[in-house]
Amino acid sequence: AGKFYRHASTETSQATLASVSPVFAVMKFDKEGNTTYFEKKKTDLYQELGLQARDLRFQHVMSIATRNNRIIMRMEFLKAVITPEFLLILDYRNLSLEHWLLNELASQLSGEGQLVTYSLPFEFRAIEAILQYWISKLHGRLNTLQPQILETLEALVDPKLLSVDRSKLHLLLQNGKSLSELETDVKVFKETILEILDEEEVIEELCLSKWTDPQVFEESTSGIDHAEEMELLLENYYRQAEDLLNEARELRLLIDDSESIVFINLDSHRNVMMRLNLQLTMGTFSVSLFGLIGVAFGMNLESSLEEDPRIFWLVTGIMFLGSGLIWRRLLSFLGRHLDPPLPPHVPAVLKKSQPAAGRVEIKTNLKTGETFGLSRSTLTNQ
């Protein structure tokens, strides 16, 4: 009775798990480009394909693997299973993905598109179509970011601006973050392809028709090596990813250089304001220094000077003249210590005589055949 109860409970749990297994929305493409839509549970799908449950465990990662003469491609939200006869796209319910599936992928798989591998077996066309879609998507992201970043940098680097627009800085921060995400995605794409290129066995396994169709195997042994074709295909998209990554890096360097220019401009404007503040301080000091004369005469002290009507204008003129002279003196002192020193003046006679002397010494050494035996003092003089 106990064994029967455990067996019944096990069957019930398995039936329950099978009933709640996820359902995939599948789009199927055959060699002629015909498209069919259907929904199927995960358990039924991996049993039909001869795979295991973990093979259809699609996370938002990037990988290309082979299982039981099946190619499993994970391109983040793009999930595909490739066989020698058909291509399955799982969970395709995405607006941009549906547009590509309906308008481009079917024609590419049937040989009507611009794929280089149209004369090769079906799995070559399927792999190239998916890689082409993904690299074009990365290119589109870069083409969207590049003009926005360049426009923002052009507005920030303007030396006429005394202050930086915070809205531009916020926009540049967002675009820089998007550029970093793009660089990460391109690096992951490159590493995924590089892992396959480093493994010859994996490249051989990607050629599905070579192992299932005897005629294809005979053509391969007669001179058409499909493994080499697959390697060239992967290398092509690896180079495209490398070029895309270089463009993103150049844009990143441009952002860094522009940030340095912005900081230099801000430092320059700050130095101008500090210098102006210092000049005003020196002017205030000069006026205050000679203002002591007015203070002294304004103490209501009786003397013979206040009786002369010309003394007021004389003292006022001395105050303004002395303040101006001291202010100009302080400004000249400030200019000598802040302005860069001029290069030393070289007399015209020395400029003309030095090359002539050098030519005379070289000609003399060439005549005597001692070009390679010059002493240290001769080289120093030259």
What tens digit of pLDDT does each residue of 293-325 get?
A: 667 666 665 666 667 777 777 877 887 787 778
Model pLDDT for residues 37-81, shown as the tens digit of each residue: 888 888 888 888 888 888 787 677 788 888 888 999 988 888 889
Instruction: Please tell me the predicted confidence (pLDDT) of residue 352.
Output: 39
- The count of C-alpha atoms lying within 13 angstroms of the C-alpha of 41, restricted to the half-sphere facing its C-beta, is 8
What residues does each domain of the chain span? 20-111
Return d(Cα 222, Cα 305) in angstroms, integer. 123
Confidence of residue 4 (pLDDT cuts 50, 70, 90): very low
**pTM higher than 0.85, yes or no?**
no
> For 260-299, what is each residue's pLDDT tens digit?
877 777 777 788 778 778 777 877 777 777 677 667 666 6
- Select the CATH number that applies to the domain covering 20-111 from these four: 2.40.50.1070, 1.20.120.450, 2.40.128.330, 3.40.190.10: 2.40.128.330
With cut-offs at 50, 70 and 90, classify the pLDDT of residue 134.
very high
- Cα torsion angle, 256, 260, 262, 266, sign: positive
Output the pLDDT for position 245.
94
What is the predicted pLDDT for the residue at 161? 59
Tokens of 13: 């749990």
The whole-angstrom distance between residue 252's C-alpha and the CA centroid of its chain comes to 4
Amino acid at 378: T
377 or 2: which leads in pLDDT: 2
Query: At residue 135, does pLDDT exceed 60?
Result: yes
Express each pLDDT in 331-349 by its tens digit. Answer: 776 665 555 444 444 344 3
List of residues 6+ apart from 70 with CB closer than 8 A: 49, 50, 51, 55, 81, 82, 83, 208
User: Tokens for 364?
Assistant: 């003399």
pLDDT above 70 as % of the chain: 70
Residue 85 · residue 99 · CB < 8 Å: no
pLDDT at residue 243 greater than cutoff 90: yes
pLDDT attached to residue 351: 40
Higher pLDDT pick, 57 / 1: 57
> Which DSSP helix (H) or strand (E) runs through 166?
helix 166-197
Mean pLDDT of 345-362: 40
Residue 157 tokens read as 């680097």
pLDDT at site 144: 92
Q: Supply the pLDDT for residue 192.
A: 92
- In DSSP terms, which residues pair with 79 in a beta bridge? 74, 90
Of 352, 377, 353, which is closest to residue 365 (Cα–Cα)? 377
* Inter-CA distances, 336 with 229, 275, 278, 340, 379, Å: 72, 13, 14, 8, 38
> 20 Cβ partners below 8 Å, 6+ apart?
none
Q: Has residue 34 got a pLDDT over 70?
A: yes
Non-local (6+) Cβ contacts of 266 within 8 A are: 164
C-alpha–C-alpha distance, residues 278 and 118, integer Å: 76
Q: What does the pLDDT read at residue 25?
A: 84
pLDDT at 48: 86
pLDDT confidence of residue 181: 92
For 51, phi and psi rounded to 5 degrees?
-110, 180
- pLDDT for the residue 376: 37
Sheet bearing 35-41, strands edge to edge:
35-41, 23-30, 86-90, 78-82, 70-75, 62-67
C-alpha angle 26-241-81 in degrees, rounded to nearest 5:
20
Nearest to 134 by CA among 104, 176, 93, 110: 104
User: Does position 87 have pLDDT exceeding 70, yes or no?
Assistant: yes
Q: What pLDDT does 249 receive?
A: 92
Specify whether the CB–CB gap between 268 and 317 falls below 8 A: no
Mean pLDDT for the stretch of residues 348-357: 40
Q: What number is the average pLDDT over the span 224-235?
A: 86
Amino acid sitting at position 80: A
Mean predicted confidence (pLDDT) in 192-217? 81
- Asked whether the predicted pLDDT for residue 114 surpasses 50, the reply is yes
Written as six digits, the tokens of 128 are: 């190239």
pLDDT reported for residue 323:
78
- Which of 56-65, 166-175, 242-251, 348-357 is modeled with the greatest confidence? 242-251
